Structure 1
Amino acid sequence: MNIDVSIANVCMLAGKIMLESGAETYRVEDTMNRIAVSYGLSNAQSYATPTGIIFSVDRVEKTNFVRISKRSTDLHKIAEVNSISRKLTGDELVLSEALLLLEELNLAKVSYVGWIQIVSAALIAGCFTIMFGGEWADFIPSLVAGGAGYAAMLWFERFVEIRFIAEFFASFVIGLLAILFIQNGSGVGMDKIIIGAVMPLVPGLHITNAVRDLMAGHLVAGLSKGVEALLTAFAIGAGVAVVIAFI
């Protein structure tokens, strides 16, 4: 296989995994460029957006493109790609070995199973309620509402690929359960229960990445991620607002 083709394959696959796992676009481009430079391609060109990657081994060579259609948050995969890229640049791996490792990582399901995510979201929701000034009587209602809301989001995503609708549905469930708990005397502060329960849905990583991309000069990526985070926040707020308005 042509050495330039091998480098392009490694760079594109590394960038694809990182973007799909929620990495910042400037980090994706930096990783791809470092791999290319370590193999003597000083003029390698890479351009990443939240929905696609463009890469060329030189200014006048053919351009490689891959579209990113699904994105999630998987910091473990990002760390694994960083580890592979460091080994490549440190001559601890050859291109063929790196490509094999990246292909295995791309196919791997390293995220936690659904029930662990739901339990974690429930505990996070309860703890946030207490942190935001809620009473201990609000801990269990927030725990249940947060876990149920996150489970509803995971379930709804199986049928509708539009994540904003799934988040709207999840916040609707959270708002409904919070009201039911308060009406049954199982909680004290409805606002604290709702705030804690929606925290697992809040796009904190998207907001952080948007700011970091903007500070790094990646205006297109930063603005698009900022808008995505804004839409997510709107969907969460709208779901709760609909419940409060009609019940």
Structure 2
Amino acid sequence: MHLERIVDTFMDLARELYYYGSNATEIENYITQIGKTYELDVQIASIGTVLYITVIDRTGKSLTRIERINYTSIDFEKLSIWESFIKKILKEKPPFTFIRDEIKRIKYENKNLVHSFSLLIIAVFIASFSFSFVFKGNLLESFISGIVGTTVYYVTINLKNKILRDFIAGFSIYSIIEVFNLFTEIRTYPILAGAIMVFVPGLLLTNAIMEIGDRNLVSGVSKLVESVFILGALVLGAGIATAIWR
């Protein structure tokens, strides 16, 4: 297979891993291992939102691809499918033509693998309810937290800008809680804590810390900064709502 197709194959795999939530260290390790399996020298770096891949074949010919990933769609089920496929490649060493055909097939299946929206909403409600209960909310407050978290999640689900989404979420959550406060006596803190936890960028923060720990400093620090800005937007939105209602 031509080197161009080989590099494109590596980029396809790296892109899908990044898109569905894998951290930089895992992406680099997987792609490097595949390169070694096929006796290719693969240099890959996942830095922030950019993937750099250089492949050098046995004759010394090299080719580089650079691609920017504009946004991600965290999905552990789809990520698991890609990781299983990569492990199969490492174990069986199939021809690259087979790999490219399988990539097309998995992309098509993932595109049609639509999670039930009702189950997603139920999961958000349960998460908000549970976190509120952990923060010492009673049954009524936990139930309200679930309603608030679910409502705001539904309204903001299609926003691609994470900072804008979390700002709106923080502002909306506190405002809706204050509306509930007009009709019944409730404590704001456990409801706010439960509803707001749904929007905390937990995976992004976890990946940032893991990458920094693996000395993937540029990617780790960039994700850490991004997570701090997202958290800041969440807090700022709730803070502005607090100032308005008081």
Q: Which residue of 2 aligns with 1:10?
A: 9
Distance 1:134 1:221 in 2: 38
Cα drift, residue 165 of structure 1? 0.6
Give SS of 2:66's match. Answer: strand
Cα drift, residue 240 of structure 1? 1.1
Q: Which residue of 2 aligns with 1:86?
A: 87
Is residue 209 of structure 1 aligned with residue 210 of structure 2?
Answer: no
Distance 1:104 1:191 in 2: 48
Distance 1:6 1:84 in 2: 18
Is contact 2:170-2:237 (8 Å) kept?
A: yes
Q: Which residue of 1 aligns with 2:73?
A: 72
Is residue 52 of structure 1 aligned with residue 53 of structure 2?
Answer: no
Cα drift, residue 101 of structure 1? 2.3
Letter in 2 for 1:225: K
Is residue 118 of structure 1 aligned with residue 121 of structure 2?
Answer: yes
Is residue 194 of structure 1 aligned with residue 197 of structure 2?
Answer: no
Distance 2:178 2:98 in 1: 55
Is contact 1:88-1:94 (8 Å) kept?
A: no
Cα drift, residue 102 of structure 1? 2.0
Letter in 2 for 1:182: N
Give SS of 2:178's match. Answer: helix
Distance 1:242 1:227 in 2: 22
Give SS of 1:57's match. Answer: strand
Q: Taking structure 1 as reference, are residues 81 and 231 closer, same or farther at Cα in structure 2, changes over 3 Å only?
A: same
Out of 149, 154, 157, the residue aligned to residue 146 of structure 1 is: 149
Q: Taking structure 1 as reference, are residues 103 and 70 closer, same or farther at Cα in structure 2, changes over 3 Å only?
A: farther
Distance 2:87 2:5 in 1: 17
Q: Which residue of 2 aligns with 1:26?
A: 25
Is contact 2:145-2:194 (8 Å) kept?
A: yes
Cα drift, residue 140 of structure 1? 1.6
Distance 1:222 1:230 in 2: 12
Is contact 1:7-1:36 (8 Å) kept?
A: no
Distance 1:244 1:71 in 2: 31
Letter in 2 for 1:116: L
Q: Deviations for 1:185-229, whole angstroms, at most 9, x for unmatched residues?
A: 1x5211110000011101110111001000111100000100111
Root-mean-square deviation over aligned CA pairs: 1.8
Letter in 2 for 1:218: N
Is residue 242 of structure 1 aligned with residue 243 of structure 2?
Answer: no
Q: Deviations for 1:10-68, whole angstroms, at most 9, x for unmatched residues?
A: 21101001111121001111111111110011x22111123111111128612112221
Distance 2:240 2:135 in 1: 23
Distance 2:173 2:114 in 1: 24
Q: Which residue of 1 aligns with 2:217?
A: 219
Letter in 2 for 1:46: I
Q: Deviations for 1:41-98, whole angstroms, at most 9, x for unmatched residues?
A: 1x22111123111111128612112221111211222211211111111116432222
TM-score (norm 2): 0.91
Of stretches 197-206 and 58-67 in structure 1, the one that deviates more from structure 2 is 58-67
Equivalenced residue count is 240
Q: Which residue of 2 aligns with 1:61?
A: 62
Is contact 2:38-2:93 (8 Å) kept?
A: no
Runs of 5+ unmatched residues, structure 2: none
Give SS of 2:92's match. Answer: coil
Q: Calculate percent identity across the aligned residue pairs.
A: 22
Give SS of 2:51's match. Answer: strand
Distance 2:94 2:175 in 1: 53
